[in-house]
Amino acid sequence: MNDKFFMYKGYPLVRKGNELYYGYMSDPFVIWIQIIDTNDDKSAKKVRVVQMATKVDDPMKAFVKNTEKECGLYEALDIANVWLEKALGN
């Protein structure tokens, strides 16, 4: 299965447009990254990072924590990786 997805630090990273999902959907948590604003060269300038619970019935209760930062995608992925590792107990 891993050969179908781009992997970043051991977790799948899937992008569609300005949204990225980081982590396995079968795990208790995944990270959703939304690119809010871009630079002239289309690189991320402002992002929203959201930790989401995957086993919750009510979508409004799925958001565990979030942040908005003026940063690039690399820093957003760094935040995502730390949050995911802590949430999964790794």
Has residue 1 got a pLDDT over 60? no
pLDDT of residue 60: 81
Higher pLDDT: 2 or 19? It is: 19
pLDDT of residue 3: 61
What is the model's pTM?
Answer: 0.88
Distance CA 76, CA 46 (A): 9
For the chain, give every domain's residue range.
2-88
Secondary structure E strands in 1-90: 6-8, 11-16, 19-22, 29-38, 44-53, 63-69
List, for residues 10-64, the tens digit of each pLDDT value.
Answer: 999 999 999 999 999 999 999 999 999 999 998 999 999 999 999 988 878 899 9
- State the DSSP string of 35-50: EEEE-TTS-EEEEEEE
